[in-house]
Structure 1
Amino acid sequence: MSVQGILKEKGCAVITAPPKATVADACRLLHDSHIGAIVVVDEQNVIKGIFTERDVVSVIARSGARGLAADLQQVMWKNVHCCTNETSINDLMEAMNRHKARHLPVKANGQLAGIVSIGDVVRHHIRAIECEAEYIRSYIAG
């Protein structure tokens, strides 16, 4: 299975923010949407960065409450690791592990096309194991 299969199941909607949004704006989005990452995009939906819960902690540790007024473009992670619809689940897990990333935006034609979280990957992996176990049970039962 590939990233496309995960997106087909969960959908392609992504919570985004513009680079000029503040950290406080991003915190409200994270909280209200019950998510761990916001993809920062420009007007053409091109990925400019990613801002995560970890980044909130980093901003507050460095700047205190005044860090909440900073623009995302000042504090976001700019070297965004992305995947594509064709990325295999094994490659996705390896990339998440290598980059210590819990969220990977999905890029298509240079634009944001979705996002995959570690939770999405775990759910897929559990389902695959359950299907394999059921197949083995059926095979043994004849």
Structure 2
Amino acid sequence: MSIARILALKGAEVFTTTPEQKLKEVAAELARRGIGALVVIDRWGEVAGVVSETDILAAIGARGADALEDSVANHMGRNFRFLTEKDTVDDAMETMTIERRRHLPVLRDGHIVGLVSIGDVVKYRIDTIEAERLALHQYIATA
């Protein structure tokens, strides 16, 4: 199954921030929206990275509450593999595992078209397993 299918099911809305925004503002936005990460867009409109709740906690753990005044640029994840809509769920799981990332931006022609989280991948896998279970149950019941 492709990443495009996950985006079709969950929606492709992506919430963003800038490298200059303060971590406290990002934390408030994450809490307000009930999400775990924002895609960081630079002044040229390109993906510069992802800032997650984990990044914020790591910053606070290292520097205390003063870290909340730091800019996103100092703490965001960067230089990691992006997904495309043609990538598979297995590709996403492998990348998330190897790179220890819970959120991966999805790009088309260099532009952000979605964000896939580990939760999205797990939900897809559970739904797939449940559909297979039901199909097997129906097959056995009619045999």
Q: CA RMSD in A?
A: 1.3
Match in the other structure for 1:6: 6
TM-score relative to the length of structure 2: 0.93
Alpha-carbon separation, structure 2, partners of 1:80 and 1:29:
23
Match in the other structure for 2:67: 67
Alpha-carbon separation, structure 1, partners of 2:78 and 2:99:
13
Aligned length: 142
Alpha-carbon separation, structure 1, partners of 2:99 and 2:113:
20
Alpha-carbon separation, structure 2, partners of 1:45 and 1:83:
18
1:26 correspondence with 2:23: no
Structure 2 residue runs of 5 or longer lacking an equivalent are none
Amino acid at match of 1:45: G
Amino acid at match of 2:91: D
Alpha-carbon separation, structure 2, partners of 1:36 and 1:80:
17
Contact 1:24/1:69 (CA < 8 Å) preserved in 2?
Answer: yes
Alpha-carbon separation, structure 2, partners of 1:107 and 1:12:
11
Contact 1:45/1:112 (CA < 8 Å) preserved in 2?
Answer: no
- The alignment partner of 1:40 has SS state of strand
Match in the other structure for 1:35: 35
- The alignment partner of 2:127 has SS state of helix
Contact 2:56/2:75 (CA < 8 Å) preserved in 1?
Answer: no
Match in the other structure for 2:99: 99
1:80 correspondence with 2:80: yes
Amino acid at match of 1:42: D
Match in the other structure for 1:89: 89
Report the Cα offset of residue 59 of structure 1.
1.1
Amino acid at match of 2:121: V
TM-score relative to the length of structure 1: 0.93
Structure 1 residue runs of 5 or longer lacking an equivalent are none
Amino acid at match of 2:53: E
The alignment-based identity, stated in percent, is 36
